[in-house]
Amino acid sequence: YDKPDPSPNQHNYYCDVSHQQAGATSDHKAPPAPPAPRVQYSAQPQMYGAAPRKPPAGKQEGGLRGGEQIQPEIQRILHITRAAAQLEQEVDEFVGKKTDKSYRLLEEMLTKLLLELDSIETGGQDGVRQARKEAVHRIQAILEILERKGL
């Protein structure tokens, strides 16, 4: 890899056997063995999924004991739940019809929250699954309230 090939169409293959024709007495020696190839990595190899994921620093929720931290998935669910609570206030104040622009905007924003919840992986953890399920039910209930108000 360090030296260019002598010609673009010629390959250098070396073997350990010295080839001499019978009866020929030449001082021809076999070419030296090629150097061992050097392997270069652009980054250290990593084992994915072997180490537990750490939540970003400074994103600890209140109500926790000393060193406990909330999983990133739970943090996302809590963030979505807070956004849903704000939209729920707007739904409570809504007066109008389904054809109104504000109705369609509220409906779209609530639907986007459902899609965001859908993208959260539970990783087989019952706590994450249950929190996501409760958040989905809450948003669906808000959508039903909005639908009844829009009639």
- Structure confidence at residue 70 as a pLDDT band (50, 70, 90): confident
Inform me whether the pLDDT recorded for 61 exceeds 50.
Answer: no
- Structure confidence at residue 47 as a pLDDT band (50, 70, 90): low
Q: Where are the domains of the chain?
A: 72-150
Inform me whether the pLDDT recorded for 87 exceeds 90.
Answer: yes
Instruction: Give the CA distances from residue 120 to residues 67, 69, 71, 132, 133, in Å, rounded to whole numbers and listed in that order.
Output: 25, 18, 12, 8, 11
Owner of token pair 């390959």: 11
pLDDT, residue 140, reads 96
* CATH of the structural domain 72-150, one choice from 2.60.40.1180, 2.60.110.10, 1.20.870.10, 1.20.58.120: 1.20.58.120
Return the percent helix, strand and coil in the chain, to nearest 5: 40, 0, 60
pLDDT, residue 62, reads 46
CA distance 146 to 54: 38
Q: 19 with 30: CB under 8 angstroms? A: yes
pLDDT tens sequence across 12-46: 544 444 444 555 555 556 666 666 656 555 555 55
Give the residue-averaged pLDDT of 114-136: 93
CA distance 54 to 13: 50
